[in-house]
Amino acid sequence: MNRWLITGASGMLGREVCRLLTAEGECALPLDRRSLDLTDTRAVEFTLRRARPTVVVNCAAYTDVDAAETHEQQAWRVNADAVRGLALACARRGVRLLHVSTDYVFAGDATTPYAEDAPTGPRTAYGRSKLAGERAVLTALPHTGTVVRTAWLYGAHGRNFVRTMAERALRDATVQVVNDQTGQPTPARDVAERLLALGRGPARPGVFHATVGGLTTWYDLARDVYRLAGSDPDRVHPTGSAALDRPARRPAWSVLGHDRWAAAGLPAPRHWRVALADEFAAVTATLEGAISCAR
């Protein structure tokens, strides 16, 4: 049986990975930023030596896309330099590493799903730092390092688009949502399950894309959330990305291909609309009570 070490364990994805491992009775050590500073190479070495994991799942990252535009050095320190240190430490101890990355490593201007080996071309500081982290993993661990890219992640923990739209829907609020960005809204549980599948089988080095199937826009996703919440989807109004005037450019196209799953003998991902319907109750479980108390 594997001994798992999870970094970023207090985040949306990290918590889901730990929940699944605990439910299945596996040995897992969850570490958040207070428990392990990944930028401290000595602390990383000490932790791996003491914990003796067989698989490390790195869910930790600097994820403030807009702040990274003015704090690129800080984003690079966490998303690139710390990942390089972790990958080298894993290489020295013979530990497999599953590293979570992002669609932001691509330019976001495609019209067909990005394949796992498609040329990268990040257009944000965040994307550049994450791409450097990917390369560090694949260089240090050519046989036991796996990069798992995801996009449009949502779940029961932390702030995310689905929870925010559900909260607005339960208040019958009118919202404006961009209709010129296309992607795959992906539950954290689906990504966690993919990570565990990769960690349990034989080492599968290289890049995998862990998103759901199909595609939609933020606008159409918001309308589906409103329907599921029992609110009028016509309260969702379309707008363009330019109206948001954010520091970091958002990819217009965040659709990822999944060919490597079939090649690895693993099942294809479920459709995003099926996933949303299945996950909606869990993702929004705490919202109604909170809204009732605020009224």
Asked about 126 being catalytic, the answer comes back as yes
Q: What is the fold, at CATH topology level, of the domain defined by 4-158+185-212+256-270?
A: Rossmann fold (3.40.50)
In this predicted structure, what is the pLDDT of residue 295? Answer: 40
Quick one: pLDDT band at residue 289, thresholds 50, 70, 90? low
pLDDT digits (tens, 9 = 90+) for 263-283: 899 999 999 999 999 999 999
In this predicted structure, what is the pLDDT of residue 244? Answer: 86
Q: Is the pLDDT of residue 51 over 70?
A: yes
Average pLDDT along the chain: 95
Q: Is the pLDDT of residue 292 over 50?
A: no
Percent of the chain beyond pLDDT 90? 92
Indicate the pTM of the whole model. Answer: 0.95
Q: Is the pLDDT of residue 185 over 90?
A: yes
pLDDT digits (tens, 9 = 90+) for 91-136: 999 999 999 999 999 999 999 999 999 999 999 999 999 999 999 9
Domain range summary for the chain, segments of one domain joined by +: 4-158+185-212+256-270
Of 104, 114, 126, 154, which residue is the catalytic one? Answer: 126
Quick one: pLDDT band at residue 1, thresholds 50, 70, 90? confident
Q: Is the pLDDT of residue 13 over 70?
A: yes
One DSSP character per residue, 170-186 reads HTT--EEEESS-EE--E
Lowest-confidence segment of 49-63, 127-141, 240-254 by average pLDDT:
240-254
pLDDT digits (tens, 9 = 90+) for 119-178: 999 999 999 999 999 999 999 999 999 999 999 999 998 889 999 999 999 999 999 999
